[in-house]
Structure 1
Amino acid sequence: MPIPEFIRALRHHVGHDPLWLTGVSAVVRDHSGHILLTRRADTGQWAVVSGVLEPGEEPARAVVREISEETGIVAEVLRLTSVDVTPMITYPNGDQTQYLDVCFAARHLDGDPHPADDENTDVAWFGVDELPENLAETSRLRIAKALRDDPAAWFRR
């Protein structure tokens, strides 16, 4: 589901005006340390798995749901890696959104990754030193923070 129903309802009232939403993302790694990326249908860029937190949903459960919905795999959350704010995003339809992103490190447990919804055109594993050039900058930053392997989550001070 590209746009959750609660956001459609909000957009009915606010039009294209900026919305402040909470997002979740994950740097998912396999047993070899490869990173799972999705190629976004809307921008064509590669990105870590991400999505919108539903009202009342726990962030770690939400990111496990997003991983499954977008890639068809089963993963487990290992730890919180960062909390930060995205720049304002203007979508092709004119909607503006800014996200508070809660990012997790996760581990692949089962399943072969594939584009499991219409949000992505491809899903693939990449070596840490072989990330694609057209990787979204926000994903590049999330990966760098997750690879710090620091038990404390990163946040701007």
Structure 2
Amino acid sequence: MTQDYISYIRSKVGHDKVLLAFAGGILADQEGCVLLQLRGDKKTWAVPGGAMELGESSKETAEREFFEETGIKVEAIRLLNIYSHFDEVYPNGDQVQTLVVIYEMRALEEVDIIGFQNEETLKLSFFSEEAIAKEVTISDKHRLMLTEYFADSFALGH
């Protein structure tokens, strides 16, 4: 397959609701603040991650997507949770129920986020738990992931 999986599926079903698998990761600094990206499509803060391609594992997806969206090489060191009950509508009208596998990440190199930007990421920043609680531009799904991460308590059945 020469095109990405989402483009392939969308060529078949248009904007109709589909189930898609995603994976991402949470990377914390020495002070316990977590790295979030300001997304280019929705203009909201989010945990870095993205869609799984055919033939990829969720771990491979999380590591690849994290690098694509942050420029930081990481490795997944712990499975945190799987979130499967959230629906989304993207700005282009695509409807999806997401299945998201989230890992805790460890940086494989020095972390430098100054000036990183691309089509998917407008900005990167580290946030404390308190700052995230006050941030209004985080989706319910990402807020739940971060709440569970800071509590180090992960409920089954999301």
CA-CA distance at 1:68 after TM superposition: 0.8
Matched, 1:95 2:98: no
Deviation at 1:100, TM superposition (A): 0.8
Q: Which whole-Å CA distance do the structure 1 matches of 2:60 and 2:125 have between them?
A: 22
SS at the partner of 1:83? strand
Which runs of at least 4 in structure 1 moved beyond 3 Å after TM superposition?
Answer: none
Q: Give the conservation status (yes or no) of the 8 Å contact 2:4–2:53.
A: no
Q: Percent identity?
A: 31
RMSD: 1.9
Shift of 1:116: 4.5
2:139 matched to 1:139? no
Give the match for residue 117 of structure 1: 118
Which whole-Å CA distance do the structure 1 matches of 2:95 and 2:150 have between them? 30
Structure 2's unaligned 5+ residue stretches are: none
AA paired with 1:35?
A: V
C-alpha separation in 2, matches of 1:57 and 1:74: 17
For residues 80 and 104 of structure 2, the distance between their equivalents in structure 1, rounded to whole angstroms, comes to 6
Q: Is the 8 A contact 1:104 1:146 kept in 2?
A: no
Distance apart, 1:107 and its partner CA = 2.5
1:148 maps to what in 2? 151
Instruction: State the match for 1:77 in structure 2.
Output: 76
Mapped to 2, the partners of 1:7 and 1:156 lie a distance apart of 25
Normalised to the residue count of structure 2, the TM-score between the two structures is: 0.86
1:137/1:115 CA distance change after superposition, 3 Å: farther
Tell me if 1:59 matches 2:62.
no
Change (3 A) 1:31 1:128: same
Q: How many residues align?
A: 152
Name the CA distance, whole Å, in 2 between partners of 1:115 and 1:136. 22
